Amino acid sequence: MIKSNWGFPRPFLSIFLVLLWLFLTNSFTWAQLLLGLFLGWLLPLVAHPFMPDQPHVRHPLLMLRYLLVFLADILSSNWVVARLLLGKPERLRPAFIHYPVELDNDYAITLLASTISLTPGTVSAHYDANTKQLLIHALHFEGEEAEMISQIKQRYENVLLEIFQC
């Protein structure tokens, strides 16, 4: 966490807000840029006490690998889901899977749940912090629950464990 009285407590958020302001106004004038810079400075400064600490990423290059695997999975899952939906609906076998989470970092858990939800055909339905289990709904599931758990651990969770050193 960057402690600052009048500086930029979240510089990347400030940059994002300036760019968002310019896109939303659909105008790139000096007045809009100055207003965007002011909002990009003021909003994170006011919201900073209410924002959780940012996680410490130990291996930033692994984030790139994670993103590439995630994008590849989105593309392949889109193809599989399209074939399933264009086929016979009675062939679908939806299922709920209880996934045991090893991650301790809230950001990493959120990233894992979001990754599962953004991958076509699966949705993270609920995370139980007491049992550390993520309830996943799969549009079509054949095989053993252990296979899916192993695949998620190998492709996503183990990489997140390395990235965030949970």
Highest mean pLDDT: which range of 47-56, 62-71, 84-93: 62-71
CB of 134 within 8 A of CB of 116? Answer: yes
Quote the pLDDT of residue 6. Answer: 67
**Mean pLDDT, rounded, of the chain:** 91
Supply the pTM of this predicted model: 0.74
The answer, yes or no, to whether residue 1 has pLDDT greater than 50, is no
Which residues neighbour 165 within 8 Å (Cβ) at sequence distance 6 or greater?
Answer: 56, 58
Structure confidence by residue, pLDDT tens digits, 96-114:
999 999 999 899 999 999 9
Which residues neighbour 152 within 8 Å (Cβ) at sequence distance 6 or greater?
Answer: 99, 112, 116, 136
Residue in this structure with the two tokens 């949970």, named with its chain if needed? 166
CB of 155 within 8 A of CB of 69? Answer: yes
Structure tokens at 48: 């900073």
Quote the pLDDT of residue 160. Answer: 95
Query: DSSP assignment of 32-82, as one string?
Result: HHHHHHHHHHHHHHHHGGGSPPPP--S-HHHHHHHHHHHHHHHHHHHHHHH
Structure confidence by residue, pLDDT tens digits, 126-166:
999 999 999 999 999 998 999 999 999 999 999 999 998 86
The percentage of the chain sitting over the pLDDT mark of 90, rounded to a whole number, equals 74
Quote the pLDDT of residue 150. Answer: 97
Give residue 74's region: left, alpha or beta (phi > 0; psi -120 to 50): alpha
Give residue 25's region: left, alpha or beta (phi > 0; psi -120 to 50): alpha
Quote the pLDDT of residue 3. Answer: 53
Higher pLDDT residue, 54 or 128? 128
